Amino acid sequence: EDQVTQSPEALRLQEGESSSLNCSYTVSGLRGLFWYRQDPGKGPEFLFTLYSAGEEKEKERLKATLTKKESFLHITAPKPEDSATYLCAVRSSGTYKYIFGTGTRLKVLA
């Protein structure tokens, strides 16, 4: 069964304290791994798509990487405005459905 697990569930960082969020997946053929940011009461905002192991994408303080079993979202020198829930999703080539993890709630303290 296709599955996505994100860890940790919640993370508190001091401003400037770098860290990584994990997204582990099992899927019958990966047709893309997607990272989103979601602020309270809003729809998820698209961040990155990764398609093959070894691929990396960067945007400002965020960098996403992909292996055959997991993806990491690295946050370098975070700021309070990076506080949000970060969601990971995969698209399965078996079902063509998008499966989402339950997210990591990130809080960056000033």
Nearer to another protein, 22 or 76 (CB): 22
Task: In angstroms, give the least distance from the CB of 49 to another protein.
Answer: 5
Nearer to another protein, 76 or 98 (CB): 98
Q: Which residues bind another protein (CB under 8 A)?
A: 31-32, 34, 36, 41-46, 49, 51, 87, 89, 91, 95-103
Task: In angstroms, give the least distance from the CB of 110 to another protein.
Answer: 26
Nearer to another protein, 54 or 96 (CB): 96
At residue 24's C-alpha, the angle toward residues 1 and 108, to 5°, is 135
Kindly state the tokens that stand for 90.
């995969």
